[in-house]
């Protein structure tokens, strides 16, 4: 299937899901559940990630008739995931730094990723896990997912200045943690 055909198939699934077709939505869930889960894992850690992913996909289903396609479906789903992660995290009151992807890194790594690259990534994941939840969310959205300051601030419900300050502090802390790990 070419990229164009994949896009076309997704648009068809979206059109059907928007009118309440559960089977079509199931296919969309199959396509996006891993990326939604990964984002949730990076934001809230393994304890809450599955709950966040499930709630985000359910919210997406409810809101689907309002999806206008201004952003891609993936971007829209990611926004919902960030929003859900923030809501559930607040509810769970888990403000302390939690062990994050370090618990699951072996599961996602393929054998060919072994070596220095995998080590660097594992080090980064450990360092990310050591940040405060607020710093981690900003650095994940800005530096891992490439969101703008404005988007990051809007989805996290903070001002752009706060987002910039958190990002700067998070990057400094990451560098310190990585240098300390060497």
Partner 1 sequence: MRNPLCSLASRLPGEWPAAAAAHRGNCLRCQAEAARARTVRRGLAALADDVFPAPGSLKTAVLRGLGKQDAADARRALVARIAARHAAAAGLAAATLVALGAGLLRRHSRALG
Stretches 47-55, 75-83, 88-96, 129-137: which one binds partner 1 (CB under 8 A)?
Answer: 47-55
Binding residue count for partner 1, defined by CB under 8 A: 50
Stretches 34-42, 87-95, 129-137, 150-158: which one binds partner 1 (CB under 8 A)?
Answer: 34-42
Under the binding rule (CB under 8 A), the answer on residue 33 touching partner 1 is: yes
Under the binding rule (CB under 8 A), the answer on residue 101 touching partner 1 is: yes
Under the binding rule (CB under 8 A), the answer on residue 37 touching partner 1 is: yes
Q: Which of 111, 155, 110, 118 is nearest to 134 (CA)?
A: 155
Q: Tell me what percent of the chain is helix, strand and coil, each rounded to the nearest 5.
A: 80, 0, 20
The alpha carbon of residue 59 and the mean position of all alpha carbons in its chain are separated, in whole angstroms, by 15
Under the binding rule (CB under 8 A), the answer on residue 120 touching partner 1 is: yes
The Cα–Cα gap between 71 and 45 comes to 27
The residue among 7 and 120 lying less far from partner 1, judged by its C-beta, is: 120
The Cα–Cα gap between 178 and 98 comes to 18
């Amino acid at each position: 299937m070419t990229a164009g055909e994949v896009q076309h198939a997704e648009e068809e699934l979206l059109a059907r899901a928007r009118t309440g077709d559960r089977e079509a939505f199931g296919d969309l869930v199959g396509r996006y559940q891993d990326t939604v889960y990964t984002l949730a894992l990076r934001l809230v850690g393994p304890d809450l990630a599955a709950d966040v992913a499930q709630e985000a996909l359910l919210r997406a289903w409810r809101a689907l008739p309002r999806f206008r396609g201004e952003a891609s479906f993936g971007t829209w789903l990611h926004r919902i995931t960030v929003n859900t992660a923030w809501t559930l995290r607040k509810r769970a009151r888990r403000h302390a730094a939690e062990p994050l992807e370090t618990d699951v890194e072996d599961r996602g790594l393929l054998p060919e990723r072994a070596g220095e690259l995998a080590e660097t990534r594992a080090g980064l994941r450990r360092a990310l896990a050591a940040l405060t939840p607020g710093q981690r969310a900003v650095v994940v959205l800005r530096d891992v997912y490439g969101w703008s300051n404005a988007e990051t601030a809007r989805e996290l419900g903070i001002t752009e200045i706060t987002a910039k300050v958190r990002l700067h502090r998070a990057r400094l802390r990451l560098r310190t943690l990585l240098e300390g790990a060497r």
